[in-house]
Amino acid sequence: MGAWPIACLALATDNDQPSALQRLPLPEGTLPVGVGLIVAGISSYAFFKIGAKALGDEGFKPISSLWFATFFLAPGFFIPLEQELGRALAHRRGQNEGGMPVIRRIVPLAGAIAGLVTLVILIASGQITDTFFDGDWVVTAALIVGFLAYLPGHLARGICSGHGRFVSYAIVMGADGAVRIVGCAVLWIAGVTNIGAYAFTVALAPLVGVAIVLFRRDLGAEPGPPAPWSEVTANLGWLLLGSVFAAGLVNAGPIVVDLLADKGMSKAVTDFGKGVLLGRIPLFLFQAVQAALLPRLAGLAARGELAEFRRGLKMLLMAVLAVGVVGVTGAAVLGPFLLEKVFQADISTRTITLLAVGSAIYMVALTFAQAVIALRGHALVATGWFAGMVTFALVTWLSSDDLFLRVEFGLVSSSAVAALVFAAALRVRLAVGIAPDIGSLVEAATDVPFEV
């Protein structure tokens, strides 16, 4: 039985009356966060268009590799910190307690994690530079700077979400993409062809949004009772493991293609990255659906309306399925045409369709994973993403000698395995009557380990 039938059986209810979910108004924060998502999404596609035009396919290839490496590392390691910070602050907000001790507790922890990852990058910098960045050390330096620059961005998002400051949350999210594309456009118009300039445009962009919300004084918090380590690390270990595997999986395609490609295949590597971006359109739409529905689920759980919580989760799953079907159909029909006209990329119908299928299944897996986190199944989610990553490695290794096809099979099969693990875990946890709490719902709502 597939993941969707399992979910529908697990979430089925006998009440045919209109749900409270349908009667609720649009949740606070949906519109500004939606605007931030739109800006971030559009700027991603524009960046690849302008960057490739300014540098050419060969020159843009290290920037494309930098992009996917950055958005594996930063969300993978920093979103769990954002989740735990937002959860702890939201809890204190509900108790009318100041959150400054929570922020002071988590900032040095975040610095320690960032320092360890940076050390690993420095140790492996020679291999990273030669393998992914065509021997350009400046791009490796930009990877380190960009990784560290996203730390204050994710902490700022955690502070804003925990305090309900949705406009500032959207500013941090949208300014990153907007500054990146504006900076890239300025370099292009000025005739700059230095790869390092574009690399550091990617690296420094997230700091602008943080500066804006800092100027707005939206990163402050009130004094409160001391925060023990347990308040900010209750689920951090499992969240961190799950997030790293999940972020690795969604960015694995371009990274592995780059790793396995022969020299002289710069255009093929860059084209594949562009195909991955187009195939992620369902994920971009997914974030908009999620922003509208997950806060409602949190409200229902907070009031103890568990039957309505199940009904709302079923609605979210059906919306995700619809988005996935539309995305895959659009990719199959229009994908090669759009890639050729917009990005001058030569990608086959098979490749773009399988990339879209992989994204759609990943979206389903992520929805199940969020539901399992909401039901306090953090360890199960880490296990599921690990199973997906192992599947990707095995299928990519054994399935084919064709560079693109083996990665495409790996992406589809790994997401399917993760989705099945999460669907089974969700059904079991619902069957035994485990109820969500506000903390786990906050973590679930911010568990999106990728950037569009």
pLDDT of 4 > 50? The answer is no
Computed over every residue of the chain, the mean pLDDT equals 84
Q: Which residues contact 149 (CB under 8 A, 6 or more apart)?
A: 203, 204, 205, 206, 207
Q: In the prediction, which pLDDT does 111 show?
A: 96
- Look at residue 10 in the predicted model and tell me its pLDDT: 37
Count H helices and E strands in the chain, helices first: 18, 0
The mean pLDDT value for 26-53 works out to 72
Q: 277-326 pLDDT, tens per residue?
A: 888 877 776 766 665 555 566 556 556 666 777 777 777 788 888 888 98
Alpha carbons 100 and 121: distance in angstroms, whole number? 32
How many alpha carbons fall within 13 Å on the CB side of residue 399? 19
Residue length, the chain?
452
Directed axis angle between helix 281-302 and helix 266-279, to 10°? 40
Q: How far apart are CA 125 and CA 108, in angstroms?
A: 25
Q: 13 pLDDT band (50/70/90 cuts)?
A: very low
pLDDT in the model for residue 235: 85
pLDDT for the residue numbered 300: 63
- 143-194 tens-digit pLDDT: 999 999 999 999 999 998 888 888 888 889 888 888 988 999 999 999 999 9
Which segment of 35-39, 133-137, 418-422, 445-449 scores lowest on mean pLDDT? Answer: 445-449
Hey, which of 183-187, 384-388, 441-445 has the most confident mean pLDDT? 384-388
Cα–Cα distance, 21 to 196 (Å, whole number):
49
Q: Which residues contact 412 (CB under 8 A, 6 or more apart)?
A: 354, 357, 358, 361
Our CA dihedral for 290, 292, 298, 301, rounded to 10 degrees, sits at: -100
- The residue-averaged pLDDT of 324-338 equals 90
* φ/ψ (deg, to 5) at 191: 80, 20
Q: What is the pLDDT of residue 299?
A: 59
Please report, for residues 189, 245, 272, 285, the alpha-carbon distance to residue 418 in angstroms, rounded to integers and kept in the order given.
Answer: 44, 11, 23, 21
CA angle 390/242/112 to nearest 5° reads 120
**Which residue, among 297, 242, 234, has the nearest Cα to 422 in the 3D structure?**
242
Residue keyed to tokens 């009440």? 15
pLDDT for 256: 93
Give the number of other Cβ atoms within 10 Å of residue 310's Cβ.
20
